[in-house]
């Protein structure tokens, strides 16, 4: 558990969710709960954060989040369609008004020429609004995972500011 104080972005996300009477859920692969940990570092997060699912394996993505096997076979776990399906899946399970998901390759192994280490897909679903962002981070496993959390929170913030 983190002992650091929540940063301004996290406080602002919490304020936006609260003011808009929105709820949030997370589906995480590469970050293994890092986004949920960051969100809940803010006192009072239980007002808007419903929970999350860490879906590291494809089987869990399918069984718990409802990601279709054909998506995984066609695009791979680290892809835009799977990130979006993960967000929609956790949103359906929790009944949240907004969901964020991440999937990627933290390394040091697992990368390929077409999907190198550091490739990350982030999705945010809020109502009919679906946003996706693709990132290519460089660095070690810890750096890639930390930057994935930051990227996901930034995309979430941007979506919340649009509404």
d(CA 72, CA 158) in angstroms, rounded, equals 28
Average pLDDT over the chain reads 95
Confidence band of 129 (pLDDT split at 50, 70, 90): very high
Residue with tokens 């280490």: 117
pLDDT given for residue 6 in this prediction? 63
**C-alpha–C-alpha distance, residues 114 and 116, integer Å:** 6
Full set of structural domains in the chain with CATH: 8-162 (3.90.950.20)
Helix (H, G, I), strand (E, B) or coil at 34: helix
pLDDT of residue 140 exceeding 80, the answer is: yes
Q: Which residues contact 103 (CB under 8 A, 6 or more apart)?
A: 29, 30, 77, 78, 79, 82, 83, 86, 120, 121
**pLDDT digits over 70-115, tens only?**
999 999 999 999 999 999 999 999 999 999 999 999 999 999 999 9
Residue 58 and residue 103: Cα distance in Å, rounded? 11
């Amino acid at each position: 558990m983190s002992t650091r104080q929540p940063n301004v972005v996290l406080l602002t996300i919490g304020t936006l969710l609260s003011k808009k009477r929105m709820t949030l859920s997370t589906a995480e692969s590469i970050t293994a709960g890092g986004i949920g940990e960051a969100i809940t570092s803010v006192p009072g997060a239980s007002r808007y954060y419903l929970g999350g699912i860490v879906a590291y394996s494809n089987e869990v993505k399918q069984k718990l989040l409802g990601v279709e096997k054909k998506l995984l076979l066609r695009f791979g776990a680290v892809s835009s369609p799977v990130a979006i399906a993960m967000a929609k899946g956790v949103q359906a399970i929790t009944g949240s008004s907004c969901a964020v998901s991440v999937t990627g390759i933290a390394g040091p192994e697992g990368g390929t020429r077409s999907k190198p280490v550091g490739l990350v897909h982030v999705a945010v679903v809020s109502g009919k609004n679906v946003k996706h962002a693709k990132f290519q981070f460089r660095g070690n496993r810890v750096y890639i995972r930390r930057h994935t959390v930051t990227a996901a929170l930034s995309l979430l913030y941007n979506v919340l500011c649009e509404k």
